[in-house]
């Protein structure tokens, strides 16, 4: 299980140093992101991972999970209520897949319009020009990563939540 932690920096060089410190502390590049005003994000180096600004991917996974579960339950119930159908297991699997696809698509579309929780909570920090470094940290490495990232000048903000699909 990983926790999402947020660190505030005042400029891009400090943000880059914080990202490098997190990486050197053992965090994968895929688990380190940058969140800033759009004009500041344009200055970041090409290929640098930017933190998602919306809830698209978490909503996609939640929708697929719950749609799949709902489809499976409905398929099993239909298979029991209509035993003459001759394919209760295949029908349940088909409704599970259909439910996962439908739930994932609908949730992703809805999630694309919702700002990411970090973006919502620290909007004033971002709007004032601060750069946030978002790190997904395994629980057993939290103390070490925090010490490394704060050592280069980043300030830990009061935000910690389990990450989705890690």
Q: Average pLDDT across each block of 10 residues of the chain; the chain has 166 residues. List them in order.
A: 86 90 88 78 52 61 85 81 69 83 78 64 80 86 88 86 56
Q: Angle of helix 142-151 relative to helix 12-24, nearest 10 degrees?
A: 150
pTM over 0.85: no
The reply to whether 42 and 21 lie within a common domain is yes
Rounded-to-integer distance, Cα 67 and Cα 146, Å: 37
Q: Give the number of domains in the chain.
A: 2
pLDDT of residue 164: 53
The reply to whether 63 and 94 lie within a common domain is yes
The reply to whether 121 and 154 lie within a common domain is yes
User: Range of 137's domain?
Assistant: 2-52+117-162
**How many CB atoms are located within 10 Å of the residue 158 CB?**
7
pLDDT of residue 80: 74
The reply to whether 40 and 122 lie within a common domain is yes
CATH number for 154: 3.30.70
The reply to whether 64 and 82 lie within a common domain is yes
The reply to whether 44 and 123 lie within a common domain is yes
pLDDT of residue 7: 92
pLDDT of residue 18: 92
Dihedral-angle region of residue 68 (phi above 0 means left; psi in -120 to 50 means alpha; beta otherwise): alpha
The reply to whether 121 and 42 lie within a common domain is yes
The reply to whether 8 and 29 lie within a common domain is yes
pLDDT of residue 46: 42
Calculate the CA dihedral of residues 94, 99, 104, 110 and round it to 10 degrees.
150
pLDDT of residue 108: 73
């Amino acid at each position: 299980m990983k926790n999402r932690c947020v660190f505030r920096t005042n400029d891009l060089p400090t943000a880059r140093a914080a990202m490098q410190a997190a990486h050197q502390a053992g965090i994968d590049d895929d688990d380190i992101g940058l969140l800033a005003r759009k004009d500041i994000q344009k200055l970041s180096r090409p290929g640098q991972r930017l933190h998602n600004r919306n809830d698209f991917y978490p909503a996609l996974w939640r929708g697929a999970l719950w749609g799949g579960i709902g489809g499976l339950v409905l398929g099993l119930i239909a298979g029991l209520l209509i035993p003459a159908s001759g394919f209760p297991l295949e029908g349940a699997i088909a409704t599970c897949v259909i439910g996962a696809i439908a739930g994932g698509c609908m949730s992703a579309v809805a999630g694309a319009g919702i700002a990411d929780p970090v973006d919502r909570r620290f909007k004033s920090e971002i709007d004032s020009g601060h750069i946030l470094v978002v790190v997904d940290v395994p629980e057993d490495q939290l103390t070490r990563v925090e010490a490394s990232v704060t050592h280069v000048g980043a300030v830990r903000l009061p935000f910690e939540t389990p990450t989705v699909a890690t």
